[in-house]
Amino acid sequence: SLVSTHRFSIHFYKHIVTTQSLDRAAGGRRPPLSASCWTTVYVNQRWAGDWGDRGGGVYVCVCNGTFNSRIFLRYLHLVFAAPKSSEQQRLKKDLLRKQCGGVNQSLVNLNKIDLNNFIVDDKHGIIYCYIPKVACTNWKRTLIALNHDEPYPDPMSFKSNLVHRFDRFKLLTQFPMPERKAKLKHYTKFLFVRDPFVRLISAYRDKMQKYDQYFYDGYVRVILQRFTNQRNLTVNYNVARKKGLRPSFYNFIQYIVDPRTQTYAFEPHWSQMYRLCHPCLIEYDFVGHQESLQEDAQELLKMVKLENDIKFPPSSENMTSPDSVMDWFQSVPLQDRRKLYKIYEEDFQLFGYRRPTELLDD
């Protein structure tokens, strides 16, 4: 067969694996690339002899017996002409490998790890592990926009309070195990991280000061009762907010370091990042940082050949600044600061954040 566009044409009949081969390789399932596609085949670089034995591959859409050339060529470009990672990305991934101590990822049992934060975009071959309080609202907006037809809508056209609904996305946990493994192996996997203490401040500002009924019932009331000895608190969060009821930042830190809190999983907005995204068990293709969000977002979009198709939203003007950390922690005793660091130490080390000696040393 021959696929042609105004830019180039390429023979690809040698590089297409039959659907029967895909059935054997993927446990008898072929995930559709889009609703308009009737079936899918798999293009694997190991079988693409003319391009060399590189490993990896992509799903390609077949519509009504013919290849969707636009989608095919996008993926062909992605797989065989993808730019090399920047030196900064290489250093980040080298650090992860070093800190993880040579974990054998091929032995990972996916049944035993939490994959609830992994969003799958089959259309573009992307898996995003979202971490609350690390630009996840804008990344979700961007993925929702990419799910529309081209030209893609402005991600900012989607309201922030609606983008977190789970029915807007496909989660990795929704796929059978053979497909999970195939997607984790072949799709572009990325996450964004943030200085752990700055992320905690952001979580406090958002969920302790501007809480809704969920956070009031589950956390704010508990913290106020436990650390401020307040009793007979209202059950209505609106009434509580009007009365100015809210924990102090120190109360919030007391709650996190309290041994009673350690007996169950943290709420995701302040859970350790490594517990949400498992960087020692899953090999990420891109690790972005909130501190360089716009630059990293542009680099990632370029990596997946979307830099000319969509623009990542601008950063919030109200974003918590790293420069304010010292001010926030003035009310937190040294002993509690050190306990807090121990809880988030792996996040600091895995993602290359320095130990904040100005907060922890005498």
Per the domain annotation, does 231 fall within a domain?
A: no
Residue 29 has pLDDT above 60, yes or no: no
Cα dihedral: 276, 281, 284, 288 (round 10): 40
What DSSP line would sit under 241-272, residue for residue?
Answer: HHTT----HHHHHHHHHSTTGGGSPPPTTTS-
- pLDDT for position 22: 38
pTM for the model stands at 0.79
Is residue 50 domain-resident?
Answer: no
Specify if 280 maps to a domain: yes
H/E segment holding residue 3: strand 2-4
Please give the pLDDT value at position 166: 72
Q: Give the mean model confidence (pLDDT) for residues 18-46.
A: 38
Domain that holds residue 191: 86-198+267-359
Q: Cα(70)–Cα(15) distance, rounded to whole angstroms?
A: 17
| 38 within a domain of the structure (yes/no) | no
pLDDT, residue 104, reads 65
| 225-244 tens-digit pLDDT | 999 999 899 999 999 999 99
Are 45 and 79 a contacting pair, CB within 8 Å? yes
Q: What is the pLDDT of residues 273-288, one digit of tens each?
A: 999 999 999 999 999 9
pLDDT digits (tens, 9 = 90+) for 202-233: 999 999 999 999 999 999 999 999 999 998 99
For the cut 90, the answer to whether the pLDDT of residue 14 exceeds it is no
Q: What is the mean pLDDT of the chain?
A: 81
Tokens of 281: 């068990």
Instruction: Report d(CA 68, CA 5) in Å as an integer.
Output: 12
> SS3 of 118, please?
strand
3-state secondary structure at position 40: strand
* pLDDT the model gives residue 6: 33
* Span 116-126, average pLDDT: 96
**Residue 347 maps to a domain:** yes
Contact indicator for 170, 140 with CB cutoff of 8 Å: no
Residues in the chain: 362
Cα distance between residue 315 and residue 290, in whole Å: 10
Instruction: Pick the closest to residue 209 from 313, 330, 320 (CA basis).
Output: 320
By 3-state DSSP, what share of the chain in percent is helix, strand and coil, each rounded to 5? 50, 10, 40
Handedness of CA 156, 161, 167, 171 (dihedral sign): positive
CA angle, residues 311, 312, 313, in degrees to nearest 5: 110
Most confident of 85-89, 147-151, 166-170, 195-199: 195-199
For residue 332, is it within any domain? yes
> Of 255, 185, 240, 188, nearest to 210 (Cα)?
240
Q: How far is C-alpha 304 from the chain's CA centre?
A: 15
Please check the confidence at residue 30 and state whether its pLDDT lies above 60.
no
pLDDT tier, 26 (very low <50, low <70, confident <90, very high otherwise): very low
pLDDT tens readout for residues 127-165 = 999 999 999 999 999 999 999 999 999 999 999 888 888
Q: Work out the average pLDDT over 63-89.
A: 56
Number of C-beta neighbours around residue 25 at 10 A: 15
Instruction: Give the residue, 166 or 130, on which the prediction is more confident.
Output: 130
Residue 65 pLDDT greater than 50, yes or no: no
Half-sphere exposure of 359 (CA within 13 A, CB side): 22
Helix ranges, the chain (H): 19-25, 69-80, 87-100, 136-146, 177-186, 196-203, 213-215, 221-227, 237-242, 249-257, 273-277, 293-303, 325-329, 334-350, 357-360
Least confident stretch, 62-76, 165-179, 329-343: 62-76
* In-domain check, residue 54: no
Give yes or no for residue 355 having a pLDDT over 70: yes
In a domain, 32, yes or no: no
**Confidence tier at 321 by pLDDT (50, 70, 90):** confident
Round the CA-based radius of gyration of the chain to a whole number and report it. Answer: 23
The dihedral through the CA atoms of 96, 102, 104, 108 has a sign that is negative
pLDDT above 60: residue 81: no
Q: How many domains does the chain have?
A: 1
Burial 234-251 (b: 16+ CB within 10 A, else e): eeebeebbeeebbbbbbb
